[in-house]
Structure 1
């Protein structure tokens, strides 16, 4: 900058430039932060539209609503920019019908109320840095609800909405008429509803279903069945197998969870016998060979196994978070509402489980 040249404030940017910047933002939180800077920024783009929950057309005896939850990393003021001193919260929010947000349990869909002690009641987005980690979707029979999974009806079949996904996943400026909703019904079959269709449909599947989790990986919808086999859904709503199942646990109760971490797709095998502490195994998908490889270490990553969407974080970025661990909530307490979350931590290398402590709204 030449001597005598006056530094201009950001608010002096031409409206057309501000509009170009704002329209390139993808998430609701980014838009809200952008609009909170000053009146010039706020007037350059409209407020994000409250999409969720939105109504799925009435089928037989039930009206269904698609709901959305988002997990954020919230960096508190005064936290170090990098390193173990970084002060961060894990925060899970649900969009409501009025465009407001409410805080939910990180691991389940229970609303956290009252708010945890010492948790800030208001957030200044100019002081708090917030980063979106993952989005989760689920079908509900009512707008209000407790956030549980409810029974409904779909093409004369009883459904139990599990971990629904939207594809393509919408940014804040996307049009809903470009999206489809995919979910697993209560019999483990894969169903979909394309925006504008009068009814939903079951995916033509010769295997008959038995799917346990659904996720979007590399822009494609993927589902995992009870044996760990993963299939991909193409644009014509046809399933294509991309890997056989791993040699996982047998006997007792076991569940499969899909997790995307550092560009790789993992399946986490959760096994429970009676009232014993669950065990876990993790497998990484080798796309070239079309097979699963069991991993003995997750490195610096920590996996969170949740109802809406399981996800991974870089443990060094969260004070108190341990790498090479799987964080989860005991299924026996997953429907117990509480403002303080008790969770368990499974060390993959040591194959031991510890009580993780208390997660007040998501803080380590």
Structure 2
């Protein structure tokens, strides 16, 4: 067998085409000069095209006329989620990794986001320059790419900017370097599709119940409505039912998890929380804010041939993360947490304590929900960065 540095260029090129991340391709090309010369600096065009779309028309509230003229357009940005692990592991004290989301702000500057939030980490919440490096070089740290999210940014009239906080998914189509499709949920609750080459968005009329979530699974577009009815969306605007409804919870999510498509059913309870320092004008009352609080979660796996969801009693030691614009699944062993079978999720009722970052942890074993700060293993995965990052 030839040494790794003497492998045929044809074989190296085939290997590089299977790398589904620009980060992994960069590391592959950094091994030696022969590996670098055998591959292109552009990842496999089927998965990572060098062309990236920029501006898209804005649609209005009216699903029958979705492409009214506006003074501004959507711009598409991508953010990548990374699990950054310590460069060296102390056998007597295993250091925990760190989850972060990296992308760019509207000005094109690199920016850090909390992994489960659509809001950037403010400079006031960052460690001082003396303890946090000005340059976080993830190319020289052990890194696992957990996933990516796409966000439609909008400028112009304030009346438009509040309408598009829904999740959006992006997928390349075929081998054409400019072929792509976007899928999101219109303010009407219907699905909105944009294909490369289209002049405007297409609103798909099918909607027995408003849709809750969209995702890309094995290169195909999926959506789920409030009943759990799940459909596969075609580029020709067709909608094919792949799973019948799952009644029970109040909010449905789709998550790709190690080659499987999962449905997360979130049960909510309406209530009130007291606002901090929010006294009424007469000083006698404290305002109470209406909110919906997560009570428990149901988990299901798609059996596509049988067109049904099968309930799960565990995640087989994995941890599922539910964010504003993304959802991903990670083995507990990669996170170096004591146990998995948990759902880590965003819940605004936990925002009263800034350290919680609006995050709760649901344990599948006992159906219990706790604050993030009461789960040290999970708390240490998030912001602020661990000591080994700031000292690196």
TM-score range, shorter chain: 0.7 to 0.9
SS in 2 for 1:162: coil
- Note the C-alpha offset of 1:311: 1.0
- SS of the residue aligned with 2:178? helix
Partner of 1:233: 233
User: 2:82 aligns to what SS in structure 1?
Assistant: strand
Matches within 5 A, 1:67-146: 67-79=77-89, 85=94, 87-96=96-105, 101-114=110-123, 115-116=126-127, 120-125=133-138, 127-142=140-155
Cα deviations across residues 30-62 of structure 1 (Å, max 9, x unaligned)?
244456667887787447888667211465114
Cα offset, 1:193, TM superposition:
1.0
Please report how far the alpha carbon of residue 190 of structure 1 lies from its aligned counterpart in structure 2 after TM superposition: 0.4
Distance 1:133 1:161, change over 3 A: same
Matched, 1:303 2:312: no
In structure 2, how many angstroms separate the alpha carbons of the residues matched to 1:317 and 1:23?
25
Deviation at 1:345, TM superposition (A): 0.8
Who is 1:147 aligned against? none
- How much does 1:204 deviate? 3.6
The structure showing larger relative contact order (alpha-carbon pairs under 8 Å, at least 6 residues apart) is 1
Q: CA deviation at 1:353?
A: 1.2
Could you tell me how far 1:169 is from its partner in structure 2?
Answer: 7.2
Match of 1:361 among 383, 387, 391: 383
Q: CA deviation at 1:18?
A: 7.6
Alignment deviations for residues 57-96 of structure 1 (CA, whole Å, 9 cap, x no partner) = 4651141112212211212210379xx9364221211245
**Matching residue of 2:20:** 26
- Cα distance in 1 for partners of 2:266, 2:382 equals 25
Does structure 2 conserve the Cα–Cα contact (< 8 Å) formed by 1:54 and 1:65?
A: yes
The change in CA–CA distance for 1:270 and 1:23 in structure 2 (over 3 A counts) is: closer
Asked whether the equivalents of residues 116 and 339 of structure 1 are also in contact (C-alpha less than 8 Å), the reply is no
Q: CA deviation at 1:130?
A: 1.6
**Partner Cα separation in structure 2 for residue 184 and residue 24 of structure 1:** 31
Distance 1:88 1:213 in 2: 29
Equivalent residue in structure 1 for 2:170, among 161, 166, 169: 166
CA contact (8 A) 2:350 2:357 kept: no
The question of whether the paired residues in 2 share the 8 Å contact of 1:162 and 1:184 is answered with yes
Deviates more, 1:223-232 or 1:13-22: 13-22
- Contact 2:262–2:299 under 8 Å retained in 1: yes
Aligned to 2:270, what secondary structure does the other structure show? coil
Native 8 Å contact 2:251 2:267 kept in 1 = yes
Aligned to 2:56: 56
Give the TM-score, by structure 2 length. Answer: 0.72
Partners in 2 of 1:352 and 1:13 — Cα distance?
53
The alignment partner of 1:70 has SS state of strand
Instruction: Give TM-score, length-normalised by structure 1.
Output: 0.77
Residue by residue, what CA displacement relative to the aligned partner does 1:310-334 show, whole Å, maximum 9, x if unpaired? 1111012112363111101222466
Q: CA deviation at 1:224?
A: 0.5
Q: Distance in 2 between matches of 1:188 and 1:260?
A: 22
State whether residues 55 and 66 of structure 1, in contact with CA within 8 Å, keep that contact through their aligned partners in structure 2: yes
Query: Aligned equivalents of 2:188 and 2:220: distance in 1?
Result: 23
CA distance in 2, matches of 1:313, 1:42: 30
Distance 1:361 1:42, change over 3 A: farther
Q: Distance in 2 between matches of 1:240 and 1:316?
A: 37
- Computed over aligned residues only, the root mean square deviation of the Cα atoms, in angstroms, reads 3.9
Unaligned runs of 5+ in 1: 144-149
Which residue number corresponds to residue 253 of structure 2?
Answer: 257
Q: Is the 8 A contact 2:254 2:263 kept in 1?
A: yes
| CA shift in 2, pair 1:220/1:23, >3 Å | closer
Stretch moving more, 65-74 or 46-55: 46-55
Q: CA deviation at 1:298?
A: 1.7
